[in-house]
Structure 1
């Protein structure tokens, strides 16, 4: 049941509300839900326990339903993705990929993706030694996962700091194919079409790969400062975000590209909100809305205090963003206003995904949590209510 709470309704006398509840219009479960969506109802129903016979008391505080821990790993997680088969995959800081049940959070298997030290440990330690630096201070060199996609074929494709891209069969733990050729750590991967994959590195090189053979078909070097993000639009337009804050729109058919400027630091997130608007988030702590046709920035969202790590759209002109400032923010991109700030977290929020039920999964260090986003904390004249997000009107 979804309850739309309006200020004018909440201000009815308490006695009237108790009378309404006593009419048994709502069943016991609905009354318990009411305790979770409005602090006034929570108080009234707790004070009139006869309204819910056999209910488990004390009634739960709705605030504890806001977030819950879903899964915890032994090392930090770097990436989170929901698969079509109702599984989650999370990339780890040690080069492994875990496959989890998306409903229960149960661990299912490990993809041993990027564990080899391809010229990394030996080369880096040798370079540090030549520079006169203490190699022991750097400890073990790992290959954190930086990008994961699910290909339309069902394969899982990952990229990491070892400069390689790996292709996995979703039903096995074995790596089917390895792409090599990037100059630097992989920063982004996207499916270009059923036969091709496009990827970028922090050194600035972008490759289009034949997915079957693993061979690089084309290579581009548009941004000499490095590429930190990448997106492929429905139109086939390729958009890359530079480490210098520039945005590059590339038409692979005409082999032409256009640069757009706005961000002052590395662009970490690129996502298409619809066919007309593009959304970017960067290390300059801003989110920008771009008009795709004109390649111009039409709005800047400024409220975060640190790098933007993830942005997902929620429909009805709403997006949610996460940041290294340890907050998430809900925005209306039509008005550019920050509607809600979600804070109190102890670590940067590095990844976001939208679940089938409308809730949000997010990564805090080595923990995946669920944000029950069906309810948003709203305050009206110091009276608190929790209102279903899809019933809020702006």
Structure 2
């Protein structure tokens, strides 16, 4: 049954002003359309340039169901290609990362390609004389993704040939990457410590909207914060905290704290949670590092960087950034009910090792499925995915603090517990799911 294909009005009807239909989480048909339509029309996070430091280095991944590879060029540029041989379609590289040397060689029939994707050599070349190979796509070499943008070493791609340009799509939310990168006195980050991966049996939108959910910590993570409180009980409020305590105790800060931290939404589903302060605002100070920051950026800019520690900055739909403690989460949808989450840590060039230790510790403490925090979320995400199949109520509430005036504004600063940050994501989802659909029909 074709419920949604080439039916933009039916898709838009799933996202109302203050609620969304359960099909946005449950429908296999909608997920297939997301792979074809939504993820192609939006800018997706591919990887970080530090993952391919040398010419010939590659990093392979699946992007919205398509095999791609990020490749460092001889001139230092980073390009992204579809990871398939132009001959029979075999993947050129099957390892996640490595160095291919000066060319790619297909393991099936030994067709070879330059690092820029141009065809280099094929066996039995004389057999193609007089044929249409040179005029065919197969004779043109590797297919490059044309819409690639590298912003301060963060690599993004838009699969569709049409759609918003990079700057128009992300706009002001890019300052969140600036805040993260500029925590390095040298203005440079590198990926460190590997990646923590976790497959969750829930829809990707559940995970992404939870990133902006400041009401759940008091109930979902109650046991973790109570245990931390019990261990810290009787200590002076200003007593130096072990890193784990410094990072876990703020989760139990209460509704008022999270409400007052504030949030801001931007066009296209992006947001920053914690525009005033966040659970990361009171990490121990490092005088020598702060002095190095002032020397590098000037006193005013250094203060702006260090005093601004948003809880989460969402680059809709695939990336969430924490400037402090310098970690990111990448959302890789696999199916309507399966999502791969990647947690990466960054090392700031010229900064003390303690900053990198914070990043690594935070990922282990909060995002590992074996942590005292993440297993609570995972249980509830999977419970929601199952519970939404119950009859009698086909809608998910997003009513909290709804104001009709928000429908007319692209950028709004609001209180931290406002579900506007989630409503904003779904409005962008409906827009990019149906972009160009009338023409296709």
Give the TM-score of the pair, scaled to structure 2. 0.25
Higher relative contact order (CA 8 A, sep 6+): 2
Determine which structure has the larger helix proportion and give its number: 2
Give the TM-score of the pair, scaled to structure 1. 0.27
